[in-house]
Amino acid sequence: MRKVFLITPSCLIKKRRDFTGGIRRLAELGFNVINPEFPATPLSPQEKADQIHRAFSDPDIAMILAVRGGYGAMKALPLIDFDLIGDHPKFFAGFSDLSALINPIFERTGMVTLHAPMVKNLGAPSPFTLKSFINAVNGYPERNLFKGAPVTVYQPGTARGVLKGGNLMTLTALIKTDWELDTEQTILFLEDVDEKSHSVDRCLTQWILAGKFRDVRAIILGDFRGIRSSQVYGMIASQMEIKFPVVSCPYIGHGNNKISLPVGALVELNTDRKSLRIQEMSLPGVRS
């Protein structure tokens, strides 16, 4: 069985059944969680970094999976040894607050990471979420990441670039830091949850003023629970001329259905086909 190490760089799971349900699902998928103890104590930034280092250093670990998101992962960034991570590549998965780790890890090591469900989400996943997660951990035999997902086109076209992105609020907090997301030549996906429209608008305006959309190849708007994707698109379109493809897909984000996305893979977005297809990618033990 493939061994999994659980990390808690963000918030703790409140309900024990959410934790045990996720571990049970991982076992059903052929994974053995080597640290199945219920995490009850928040970690300091140094403890978070140490936990990540311990997971990457163990040669028997196949995947490192976050317990849940929330807030706090970014506090570990200045304490993380990215050289150690680069020397011991593994599947590293999480989303939401984990956007602060999955993107810098790829950018500093070249290791593709997974914007994917966490332990909290795996206890009772939808059939789509489970199928997409299995596709990811098996090295993406299905190359079209949008297969079976609804896609709305706001700006047509075809674009090829490196897939990056995640939670809007989290990634906005990294702008003008050493871990700011490099958006040049990217297919950029963004999502958020339960934020007020003015807060989303403020963040997107900061991205525009900082030139973060200037050299993107395309933008994918995920789920912004509480705000329609057409509104989010309008926030961008009202402030800049959009010359690249823009689509929305509600299966990216905090909704019940979740696509497991390879951050760092070279992908092609085709709005005619409503497809997002992997072109090149290097996962631990999987080269394509």
Looking only at the bridges linking them, the beta strands covering 246-248 and 266-270 are: unpaired
**Residues 51, 8: contact at Cβ < 8 Å?**
yes
pLDDT value for 286: 53
Domain ranges of the chain: 2-124, 152-287
Q: Which CATH class is domain 2-124?
A: alpha beta
What is the token pair recorded at 217?
């190849």
Instruction: Tell me the pLDDT tens digit for each residue of 231-259.
Output: 999 999 999 999 999 999 999 999 999 99
Q: Which residues of 261-275 are buried (b: 16+ CB within 10 A; e: fewer)?
A: bbbbbbbbbbbeebb
Mean pLDDT over 68-91 rounds to 97
Second CATH level (architecture) for the domain 152-287:
3-Layer(bba) Sandwich (3.50)
Task: Give every CB contact of residue 46 below 8 A, 6+ residues apart in sequence.
Answer: 79
pLDDT value for 288: 44
pLDDT band for position 155 (cuts 50, 70, 90): very high
What is the token pair recorded at 21?
């349900």
